[in-house]
Amino acid sequence: MEARAIAKYIRIAPRKVNLVAAEIRGKNVDEALAILKFTPKRGAKELEKVLSSAIANAENNFDMDREKLYVHEAYGNQGPTLKRWRPRSQGRAYPILKRTSHIGIVLRERE
């Protein structure tokens, strides 16, 4: 059985989220929370919120034991991109892509 939590349309690039998500994949939930708490990246804060939500879902909705939970999947998929324009010289404009992420975490119990 698995518990999951997803945060959508978060204004951070998926590449930056996945850097941090790779650090917690396969870890126990308490160890993963400790890693995220002391990781000085913006993606860590967002992942910490999603992980806390997934833990709450596991405990309240599925009666899973927190001690046995581990991070089975952690990912940052690409959401819609906001396109903005940067004025340049001689009447030109360059596109600025503001990327968004869909952050997901799946928890399972160790046997």
Q: What is the pLDDT of residues 66-105, one digit of tens each?
A: 999 999 999 999 999 999 999 999 999 999 999 999 999 9
pLDDT value, residue 111: 83
Q: Structural domain of residue 39, as residue ranges? A: 2-109
User: Could you tell me the two tokens for 73?
Assistant: 């999947």
How many structural domains compose the chain?
A: 1
Is the predicted pLDDT of residue 50 greater than 90, yes or no? Answer: yes
Is the predicted pLDDT of residue 57 greater than 90, yes or no? Answer: yes
- The answer to whether 98 and 11 have CB atoms below 8 angstroms apart is yes
User: Could you tell me the two tokens for 92?
Assistant: 């030109």
Is the predicted pLDDT of residue 31 greater than 90, yes or no? Answer: yes
Percent of the chain scored above 70 by pLDDT?
100
Cross-strand partners of 38 = none
Is the predicted pLDDT of residue 52 greater than 90, yes or no? Answer: yes
CATH of the domain at 69: 3.90.470.10
Query: What average pLDDT does range 20-26 have in this prediction?
Result: 96
pLDDT value, residue 4: 95
**pTM score, two decimals?**
0.91
Give the separation between CA 57 and CA 103, rounded to whole angstroms.
16
Query: What average pLDDT does range 49-62 have in this prediction?
Result: 97
